[in-house]
Amino acid sequence: EIHSSAKEGSKAVAQEIAALIRERQAANQKCVLGLATGSTPKFLYAELVRLHKEEGLSFKNVITFNLDEYYPIEPDALQSYNRFMKEHLFNHVDIPEGNYNVPDGTIQKDQIKKYCEQYDRKIEEAGGIDIQILGIGNNGHIGFNEPGSNINSHTRLITLDNSTRLANAYEFPNMSQVPRLAITMGIGSIMKAKRVLLMAWGSHKSKIVRRSVEGQSTDQVPASLLQQHANCKFVIDEQAAADL
């Protein structure tokens, strides 16, 4: 779905999310969202906050699971995705505190495997993800599932590609401070979502969008594995669509 701008595309995604939240509210049911970080979803979160403040959209029945977090990192560090989510969404809407989940970058290393299994179990116990929001890395990563990630992978600790560390270095004082590891929901966990909305804005995303949509479905381009998802849509702007 091609929009004239990132703002217009984000508004369309916000409308779909708001409609599902309201539908579930009317039926007294929960709505489970999978959320992403990075620059891509910033307009979406701003629009959801606006819908909350100006149009009374409530998040009381919403449960969220974020895709990923650097490891190790303190939750209040400037670059932490825990902090990002509070600053861009959770602090500005009425979501109950126990309802949002972002992977914890302070877990002891020998506890990570257990922690990741619990994260996946918690998603299942919540009834599975209704709508999964994704951005896309320049190398096609979704969450922090770098090329080579298995289509059935679960939440786990992964080693970041050097290209990803370089792309994200602007968030840190210098390259050596970019973490080498991250906790990410797996591709298998993402594939289980009932609906997947991947957003991409700007000309720097056009090549990887083309490879993901028109190329072979391969674990070398993790986003291309979404071709195998039954209910997935790429919501992009004209610049990101330029190579299609």
Among 5-13, 23-31, 33-41, 173-181, the segment contacting ligand GLP (CB under 6 A): 33-41
Burial annotation 9-19 (CB, 10 A radius, 16+ → b, else e): bbbbbbeebbe
- Strands of the chain, DSSP E: 2-3, 31-35, 62-66, 68-71, 100-101, 131-134, 156-159, 181-184, 196-200, 232-237
68 lines the binding site for ligand GLP (CB under 6 A):
yes
Whether the Cβ atoms of residue 30 and residue 63 lie closer than 8 Å to each other: yes
In this structure, what token pair is assigned to residue 25? 């509210």
178 lines the binding site for ligand GLP (CB under 6 A):
no
Question: Which residues are known to be catalytic?
Answer: 68, 139, 141, 146
Positions in 185-244 near ligand GLP (CB under 6 A): none
**CA geometry: angle at 216 spanning 211 and 220, to 5°?**
75
Using the minimum distance from each CB to ligand GLP, give the nearer residue, 5 or 29: 5
The CB-of-135 to ligand GLP minimum distance in angstroms stands at 2
Radius of gyration of the chain (CA): 17
Figure out which of the listed residues 62, 144, 187, 224 binds ligand GLP, where binding follows CB under 6 A: 144
* Residue number with the smallest Cβ distance to ligand GLP: 135
Please tell me whether residue 144 adopts helix, strand or coil conformation.
coil
Figure out which of the listed residues 6, 14, 37, 85 binds ligand GLP, where binding follows CB under 6 A: 37
Using the minimum distance from each CB to ligand GLP, give the nearer residue, 57 or 71: 71
67 lines the binding site for ligand GLP (CB under 6 A):
yes
Size of the site for ligand GLP (CB under 6 A): 14
Give the residue from 212, 163, 158, 223 showing the smallest Cα distance to 187: 223
Among 31-39, 107-115, 122-130, 185-193, the segment contacting ligand GLP (CB under 6 A): 31-39
Q: Which residues bind ligand GLP (CB under 6 A)?
A: 36-40, 67-68, 135-137, 143-144, 164, 168
